[in-house]
Amino acid sequence: MSTNVLDLVVQALPHLRGGLGEDSATFTARLLYENLELDACAVVDIERVLAYVGRGEDHHVVGGPSLTGLTHRAIATGRVCTARTREEIDCPVPGCPLTSVTIAPFIVRGAPVGALKLYRAGTPIAEDDEKVAVGLARVFSVSLEAAELDAREALITQAELDALRARVSPHFLFNTLTTIAALTRTDPDRAHDLVVDFAEYFRDSLAQHAEFVSLDEEMEHVEQYLRFEHARFGERLRVAYEIDPRARIALVPVLSVQPLVENAIGHGLGPKGGGGTVRIVARPDGEGTQIAVSDDGVGFTPGAHVRSSGIGIGMDNVNQRLVKLFGPASALRVTSAPGHGTTVAFHVPAHVPAAAR
CATH number of the domain that residue 42 is part of: 3.30.450.40
Residue 308: pLDDT over 80: no
59 and 130 in a single domain? The answer is yes
119 and 181 in a single domain? The answer is no
Mean pLDDT of the chain: 83
Task: For residues 142-158, give the mean pLDDT.
Answer: 64
User: Among residues 154, 175, 209, which one ends one of the domains?
Assistant: 154
109 and 232 in a single domain? The answer is no
Q: What is the DSSP letter of 249?
A: G
User: Among residues 154, 172, 202, which one ends one of the domains?
Assistant: 154
* Contact partners, residue 300, CB within 8 Å, separation at least 6: 309, 310, 311, 336, 338, 342
pLDDT range class, residue 1, cuts 50, 70, 90: very low
Least confident segment among 17-26, 36-45, 82-91, 148-157:
148-157
Which residues form the domain of 309? 158-356
The confidence score (pLDDT) of residue 127 equals 87
199 and 146 in a single domain? The answer is no
Least confident segment among 61-65, 143-147, 212-216:
143-147
CATH of the domain at 292: 3.30.565.10
The confidence score (pLDDT) of residue 161 equals 43
Task: For residues 108-136, give the mean pLDDT.
Answer: 90
More confident residue, 101 or 356: 101
| CA atoms within 13 Å, Cβ hemisphere of 179 | 19
More confident residue, 85 or 204: 85
Kindly state the percentage of the chain with pLDDT values over 70. Answer: 83
pLDDT range class, residue 169, cuts 50, 70, 90: low
The total of other beta-carbon atoms located within 10 Å of residue 319's CB is 21
- Is-above-0.85 flag for pTM? no
202 and 62 in a single domain? The answer is no
54 and 149 in a single domain? The answer is yes
Residue 307: pLDDT over 50: no
Look at residues 22, 18, 17 and name the one whose alpha carbon lies nearest to residue 47.
22
User: Among residues 107, 135, 154, which one ends one of the domains?
Assistant: 154
CA–CA separation, 64 and 71 (whole Å): 13
The confidence score (pLDDT) of residue 245 equals 94
3-class SS letters over 316-345: HHHHHHHHHHHCHHHCCEEEECCCCCEEEE
More confident residue, 98 or 211: 98
Domains: count for the chain: 2
CA–CA separation, 73 and 88 (whole Å): 11
The confidence score (pLDDT) of residue 166 equals 46
Task: For residues 242-252, give the mean pLDDT.
Answer: 94
321 and 298 in a single domain? The answer is yes
Residue 309: pLDDT over 80: no
188 and 80 in a single domain? The answer is no
CA–CA separation, 6 and 19 (whole Å): 20
Q: At what angle do helices 170-186 and 215-233 cross, to 10 degrees?
A: 50
Residue 156: pLDDT over 60: no
Task: For residues 276-295, give the mean pLDDT.
Answer: 94
pLDDT range class, residue 187, cuts 50, 70, 90: confident
φ, ψ for residue 201, nearest 5 deg: -60, -45
Least confident segment among 151-165, 228-242, 243-257:
151-165
133 and 224 in a single domain? The answer is no
pLDDT digits over 60-111, tens only? 999 999 888 899 999 999 999 999 998 999 889 998 999 999 999 999 888 8
187 and 99 in a single domain? The answer is no
Residue 293: pLDDT over 50: yes
pLDDT range class, residue 152, cuts 50, 70, 90: low
pLDDT digits over 3-18, tens only? 467 777 778 877 777 7
